[in-house]
Structure 1
Amino acid sequence: MCGITGIMDARGGRAVDEALLRRMNDTQHHRGPDEGDTYIEPGIGFGHRRLSVIDIAMGQQPLGNEDGSVMVCYNGEIYNYRELTAELKELGHTFKTKSDTEVIVHAWEQWGEDCVHHFRGMFAIGLWDRNKQVMFLARDRMGVKPLYYAMTPDGWFAFSSELKALRMHPSLPREIDPRAVEDYFAYGYVPEPKTIYKGALKLSPGFRLTQKVGAPLAQPEQFWDVPFKLHQKMTESDAQGELVERLREAVKIRLVAEVPLGAFLSGGVDSSAVVAMMAGESDGPVHTCSIAFKDKAFDESEYAQKVAQQYKTDHFVETVDTDDYGLLDTLAGLYDEPYADSSAIPTYRVCELARKRVTVALSGDGGDENLAGYRRYRYAMAEESVRGRIPLGLRKPVFGTLGRLYPKADWAPRVFRAKTTFEALSRDLVEGYFHGVSIMTDAMRAQLFSDKFRQQLQGYRAIDVMRGHAANAPTDDPLSMIQYLDMKTYLPGDILTKVDRASMAHALEVRVPLLDHKLVEWISGLPPEMKLRGSEGKYIFKKSMEKYLPEDILYRKKQGFAVPLAAWFRGPLRERVQQALLGPNLAATGIFNQDFLRHMVEQHLSGRRDYSAPIWTVLMFEAFLRKEMAA
């Protein structure tokens, strides 16, 4: 696991600034504290920070082929590297290391751009081919590892693991993209391929890019997508058995490491299932870790302890204070662009805890998207059932009017919060789902932004992100569609970004067996009713795990990481909220309607409305701005 960066003269003929390359590389020291190196030849330069996990003695990067005409710098793990090494040796390639990195070099020589089809793992790759005069970038299928890139106005093509490295380049324009701001205040993150800056991009999951010297900025090309192609008829019993075996295999290939390895254990279904599979494949006790909260309303540690005792793991627990708001500014520095998932706070702490015992940790991320575990899937399907019985021409005026007239009741039990439901029913599936997951609705963002800023958007709306993905979706099944939308937006933009930055801040490698692409492909082919049955999400997964996990782990109400934002803002962070939302930094941007910011603060602090999620979103944007001004 590493941090990578690279610079190429896309115009040709200029020397790379070695001092600049080193500065860019040094910004990512936390991603690879074990070793660091650079490589420069005419027109190109690579920087690499290494966290040593496989072939500690010989796996240094950047790494080249026999004559140095192909050089690679990469972040991740290729889990099938041993099989690929054997295959490539049979094809005549010579290896000088036992690392997975060298597999990429020879795979490129053998298969060119199609080398990515042979890799099973998580990866962000930068590769230079001197003979072809091309820089090749590729990002793993699910987006576990990040990859940013840019073409500067004066013709320098650059890439990196984190945006902070690109930001060091003096030629990179740092003008904020209004569309990214609109996206952020809807989703809580800036979805791929945008970044907060107009001049930089993310390479989307499952995409590759080949940049030629002397050519304008290349367009990324998709090399993989979630198929959602239904299997031939399969019994529920057969599906359960095959799911267990496929999960077991996905876990097993992720246990290769020359450093201490363990797992996160939250007490939820996904992490508990991963630990159960690890225990069956490990000779000794599995190292597990979890955090406990002083506030029992947020604490799941007793369930983690139950699984740890069942599998006799070497379990490590630390109790943290629920009021851990001191990390706010730290998070702004970690994520490099506005990021508003408050569960980043406990995620940071559990990664910090894990690193005390292990260098590699397996996680249960991806189960909810794969197997329809989120409650919002259940609500969306209930709404879609109603939509299916009433024509849009009737739904839109009736439910749209009810949604406008019905009072907002955030304080009430969900059954009485009909406003959101009415509004969703007046829309189609994609718009209804977008409305349900948005931190700030279209109407709220219209009030949040100034008239001048709304003009800059030129009609752009954050829903356009989901509309674009929906148009390319390989399925028209409603449940599969919203799972697909999450796999393209929420999973890489929020969940995997959160875990990558939080883990790499502590030089911890996190592996995600539930996002193994072969497992994802197979699960996507299961009938939707095996994933969501009635009100039970992850139905087939839970049934398949009944032999391995207790009932109260499998069937209790999903909790997840949470922090008490509403109480923080009315208590210890009250002054911070007032200063940030009503202070000069936000006012100076011209983006915001100051009257609406004042309304949110006054209503929330008085207890009349719960604006905690929107306030946190604005607070993190303001923290980003302060970091930006200080850079």
Structure 2
Amino acid sequence: MCGMTGLWQRHGGARDTLLEQAQAMSARLTHRGPDDSGVWCDEAAGIALAQRRLSILDLSPAGHQPMRSTDGRYVIVFNGEIYNHLELRERLHAERTAPVWRGHSDTETLLAGFVAWGVERTLQASVGMFAFALWDRQQRALTLARDRMGEKPLYYGWQGDTLLFGSELKALKAHPAFQAEIDRGALALLLRHDCIPAPHAIYRDVFKLRPGHLLRIPADAPREAQPVAYWRYNDAVSAGLGEPLVATDAAATDALETQLGASVGAQMLSDVPLGAFLSGGIDSSTIVALMQARSDRPIKTFTIGFTETGYDEAAHAMAVARHLGTEHTELYVHPADALAVIPRLPAIFCEPFGDSSQIPTFLISQLTRRQVTVALSGDGGDELFGGYNRYLAARTTWEKVQRLPPLARRAAAGALRVVTPTAWDKLFDRIKPVLPKRWHLATPGDKAQKLADVLTLPSGQAFFVNLASGWQDPASVVIGAQEPSTLLTDPAAWPGTGSLVEWMMAMDAQTYLPDDILVKVDRAAMANSLETRVPMLDHRVVELAWRVPLQQKIRDGQGKWLLRQVLYRHVPRKLVERPKMGFGIPLDGWLRGPLRDWAETLLDENRLRQEGYFQPAPIRQKWKEHLSGRRNWQHQLWTVLMFQAWLEENRRTSA
């Protein structure tokens, strides 16, 4: 796990200047790699590569980067882990193409694969999470590549005649050629998604390489180069649905436990202390259970708890940890601890990011790093095995909505909106004792308002876009913005699936998962110099998940059915069965309380008008409604606040 960066000047450059610029860019990534640093350049080609290293495998100088292949053709800076690199070494030996190894790092293995098999074939044979920049000295070409599911980040863009690239925007901004012009279309995307989806970035002429893609840039036509996919999620979907797993429930559970267990075992490989996040939910509990089953000593597990009712899962995590016999650490966080993180967020997230669970993610990473350098997480289970409540809603709410005539839909929507969310919450609280368990909803008032919106939608796809959108019409809020195309708005790029639920799952795995969840985990963890690994995103687990029929994922009104069966083999059902909770904070109340003055300053009408990015009226209206308690606009307001705080931080650091 590292931070990598570099630059390529088309017409060459002075060696000292190239090295100085690359070192300045690398210095911005020290948090990603505090253990070692390196820089390399070819002044005739105008290329410079730099790396910051968090040492995980091969702690010796043999793992130092930038690293050359043994034949001298390739030079690489690499961020990530190749979990099957020892198997790749065995294949190279069997084919008699292995070099004389200098050490046992996966970076050296990758380079040997490039020499023997070429870049694309090596990537297709590799299992891991990564982003890298590879300079081919023979063909004078630069290749940028990113892992299949998008666990590791990679930004790039031309600034004049200079190509800049790196793990975070911080590195690109350190170069004197960087033009920090905000892309208003990307800002509109931020308001819709709470994040900026790839390939877009907050600055003009800067892009994120999409997951599963590589970009080969030749010296003779560099600006004509376009990313190409070496692995496509939609292909995994099609292949899985085309050859479904026909198996009994027990056999399907065996297959999942075997494949997921193999992924967990491979990702436990480390030369430094290793542990796991544990919330006590299905996903993290399954990962920890499989880890403990493969360890002869107690696994280190970590959780944080909150004193606010409805936000604390620490007791559940402790119960799972006791049953499994892990070495468990928990920390109860007071509101002041969480609030203290907020001023740091604009620096941690190099472009504005609006998912408020960034705060507890940072805190759990901070706690975990005190004892270990690597932590496994349970991310990905919801997207692969049908865990989000919106999938259940698609099978119930949307199917029922479709049967209603348009006039009845509009009337029902109007009736739902007459009652305020607060009033709905109070009503549900009173009648909760007589309601079926499936109706024990968190924030029923907000769900009633969302249902009102759903009643007027024209299609299942529109239903999903509505659920995935914070601001429903962000281009009307961002001045001068034209919202660019994304996977959500490009039907030609949609997966072909047999049901709305499966389509939603496939879309989430290609949008929400890499652009929000994995960004959040990477930045929050790396700000603490902690490597995170996600066993469920091994592409072989992904491909198996798509072979599992939907009825073995969602059954009897419950998501992640098959994943639960694996967990029940290790943990009693009573310890993990409870309503799904997000990894959140009581943001709605904080905005009305301890964060009110801070938010008011950033949302000041005159300030918004002078800065010229937002129309003040719709933002001020939502702020007023939120303060009154009439509506809960925490998510929409938080995204605006995160942009405003990020803008203020960037102005301060640029002054």
Query: TM-score scaled by structure 2?
Result: 0.90
How many angstroms apart in 2 are the aligned matches of 1:496 and 1:514?
12
Does 1:64 pair with 2:78? no
How many angstroms apart in 2 are the aligned matches of 1:201 and 1:446?
20
* SS of the residue 1:182 aligns to: helix
- Judge conservation of contact 2:475–2:481 (CA < 8 Å) in 1: no
Q: CA 1:417 to 1:5, structure 2 compared with 1: closer, same or farther past 3 Å?
A: closer
- Judge conservation of contact 1:470–1:481 (CA < 8 Å) in 2: no
Q: CA 1:240 to 1:429, structure 2 compared with 1: closer, same or farther past 3 Å?
A: same
Displacement after TM superposition at 1:317 (Å): 1.3
Correspondence for 1:225: 232
Post-superposition Cα deviations, 1:167-225, rounded to whole Å, max 9, x if no partner, equal 11222222111211111101100011100111210001111110111314311111112
Worse-superposed segment, 503-512 or 575-584: 575-584
Does 1:2 pair with 2:12? no
Does 1:364 pair with 2:371? no
Correspondence for 1:423: 453
Displacement after TM superposition at 1:383 (Å): 3.5
- Judge conservation of contact 1:3–1:29 (CA < 8 Å) in 2: yes
Post-superposition Cα deviations, 1:550-573, rounded to whole Å, max 9, x if no partner, equal 223432111132111121111111
Among 116, 134, 137, which residue is 2:144 paired with? 137
Correspondence for 1:592: 614
Correspondence for 1:83: 87
Q: Which runs of 4+ in 1 moved over 6 A?
A: none
Displacement after TM superposition at 1:88 (Å): 1.8
* SS of the residue 1:345 aligns to: helix
- Judge conservation of contact 1:403–1:420 (CA < 8 Å) in 2: no
How many angstroms apart in 1 are the aligned matches of 2:278 and 2:446?
35
How many angstroms apart in 2 are the aligned matches of 1:388 and 1:611?
27
Question: What residue identity is the alignment partner of 1:50?
Answer: R
Post-superposition Cα deviations, 1:523-575, rounded to whole Å, max 9, x if no partner, equal 01111121112420101111232121122343211113211112111111111
Question: What residue identity is the alignment partner of 2:227?
Answer: P
How many angstroms apart in 2 are the aligned matches of 1:416 and 1:4?
42
Q: CA 1:212 to 1:566, structure 2 compared with 1: closer, same or farther past 3 Å?
A: same
Among 282, 295, 305, which residue is 1:292 paired with? 305
- Judge conservation of contact 1:37–1:61 (CA < 8 Å) in 2: yes
Post-superposition Cα deviations, 1:263-298, rounded to whole Å, max 9, x if no partner, equal 111111111111111111111111111112222431
Worse-superposed segment, 400-409 or 100-109: 400-409
Q: CA 1:601 to 1:420, structure 2 compared with 1: closer, same or farther past 3 Å?
A: closer
Correspondence for 2:156: 149
Q: CA 1:404 to 1:170, structure 2 compared with 1: closer, same or farther past 3 Å?
A: farther
1:306-345 pair list within 5 angstroms: 306-323=319-336, 324-345=338-359
Q: Give RMSD over aligned pairs.
A: 2.1
Correspondence for 1:208: 214
Q: CA 1:468 to 1:61, structure 2 compared with 1: closer, same or farther past 3 Å?
A: same
5+ residue gaps, structure 2, are 426-443
How many angstroms apart in 1 are the aligned matches of 2:127 and 2:447?
45
How many angstroms apart in 1 are the aligned matches of 2:595 and 2:192?
23
How many angstroms apart in 1 are the aligned matches of 2:181 and 2:498?
38
Among 44, 47, 59, which residue is 2:47 paired with? 44
How many angstroms apart in 2 are the aligned matches of 1:265 and 1:420?
31
How many angstroms apart in 1 are the aligned matches of 2:376 and 2:570?
18
Question: What residue identity is the alignment partner of 1:4?
Answer: M
- Judge conservation of contact 1:172–1:199 (CA < 8 Å) in 2: no
Does 1:536 pair with 2:540? no
Correspondence for 1:355: 369
Question: What residue identity is the alignment partner of 2:3?
Answer: G
* SS of the residue 1:407 aligns to: helix
1:217-616 pair list within 5 angstroms: 217=223, 218-226=225-233, 227-228=236-237, 229-230=240-241, 231-323=244-336, 324-386=338-400, 389=403, 395=406, 399=409, 403=413, 407=417, 409-411=420-422, 412-413=424-425, 414=444, 418-425=448-455, 426-442=457-473, 445=474, 448-449=477-478, 453=479, 456-458=480-482, 460=483, 464-468=486-490, 471-582=493-604, 585-616=607-638
Displacement after TM superposition at 1:19 (Å): 1.2
How many angstroms apart in 2 are the aligned matches of 1:447 and 1:220?
31
Correspondence for 2:98: 93
Displacement after TM superposition at 1:325 (Å): 1.6
- Judge conservation of contact 2:421–2:448 (CA < 8 Å) in 1: no
Displacement after TM superposition at 1:330 (Å): 0.6
- Judge conservation of contact 1:403–1:423 (CA < 8 Å) in 2: yes
How many angstroms apart in 2 are the aligned matches of 1:91 and 1:387?
63
Post-superposition Cα deviations, 1:395-453, rounded to whole Å, max 9, x if no partner, equal 4x6635754675264332438954532432422122111101212223xx36634xxx2
Question: What residue identity is the alignment partner of 1:310?
Answer: H
How many angstroms apart in 2 are the aligned matches of 1:398 and 1:344?
40
Post-superposition Cα deviations, 1:286-322, rounded to whole Å, max 9, x if no partner, equal 1111112222431111111111111211111111113
- Judge conservation of contact 2:285–2:567 (CA < 8 Å) in 1: no
How many angstroms apart in 1 are the aligned matches of 2:67 and 2:228?
25
How many angstroms apart in 2 are the aligned matches of 1:417 and 1:146?
33
- Judge conservation of contact 1:469–1:488 (CA < 8 Å) in 2: no
- Judge conservation of contact 2:280–2:576 (CA < 8 Å) in 1: no
Post-superposition Cα deviations, 1:252-272, rounded to whole Å, max 9, x if no partner, equal 001111111111111111111
Does 1:628 pair with 2:650? yes
5+ residue gaps, structure 1, are none
How many angstroms apart in 2 are the aligned matches of 1:232 and 1:596?
50
Worse-superposed segment, 58-67 or 121-130: 58-67
- Judge conservation of contact 2:186–2:484 (CA < 8 Å) in 1: no
Q: CA 1:415 to 1:167, structure 2 compared with 1: closer, same or farther past 3 Å?
A: closer
How many angstroms apart in 1 are the aligned matches of 2:537 and 2:306?
28
Worse-superposed segment, 529-538 or 289-298: 289-298
Correspondence for 2:19: 18
How many angstroms apart in 2 are the aligned matches of 1:67 and 1:471?
40
Q: CA 1:307 to 1:469, structure 2 compared with 1: closer, same or farther past 3 Å?
A: farther
Q: CA 1:563 to 1:7, structure 2 compared with 1: closer, same or farther past 3 Å?
A: same
- Judge conservation of contact 2:245–2:548 (CA < 8 Å) in 1: no
- Judge conservation of contact 2:280–2:320 (CA < 8 Å) in 1: yes
- Judge conservation of contact 1:77–1:100 (CA < 8 Å) in 2: yes
- Judge conservation of contact 2:75–2:136 (CA < 8 Å) in 1: yes
- Judge conservation of contact 1:88–1:107 (CA < 8 Å) in 2: yes
Q: CA 1:383 to 1:297, structure 2 compared with 1: closer, same or farther past 3 Å?
A: closer
How many angstroms apart in 2 are the aligned matches of 1:337 and 1:8?
23
- Judge conservation of contact 2:189–2:197 (CA < 8 Å) in 1: yes
- Judge conservation of contact 2:374–2:532 (CA < 8 Å) in 1: yes
- Judge conservation of contact 1:149–1:201 (CA < 8 Å) in 2: yes
Correspondence for 2:57: 54
* SS of the residue 2:290 aligns to: helix
Correspondence for 2:436: none
- Judge conservation of contact 2:401–2:409 (CA < 8 Å) in 1: no
Does 1:192 pair with 2:195? no
Displacement after TM superposition at 1:579 (Å): 0.8
Q: CA 1:214 to 1:331, structure 2 compared with 1: closer, same or farther past 3 Å?
A: same
- Judge conservation of contact 1:279–1:285 (CA < 8 Å) in 2: yes
* SS of the residue 2:335 aligns to: coil
How many angstroms apart in 2 are the aligned matches of 1:54 and 1:320?
33
Query: TM-score scaled by structure 1?
Result: 0.93
- Percent identity between matched residues is 36
Worse-superposed segment, 135-144 or 563-572: 563-572
Q: CA 1:67 to 1:232, structure 2 compared with 1: closer, same or farther past 3 Å?
A: closer
* SS of the residue 1:272 aligns to: helix
Q: CA 1:469 to 1:492, structure 2 compared with 1: closer, same or farther past 3 Å?
A: farther
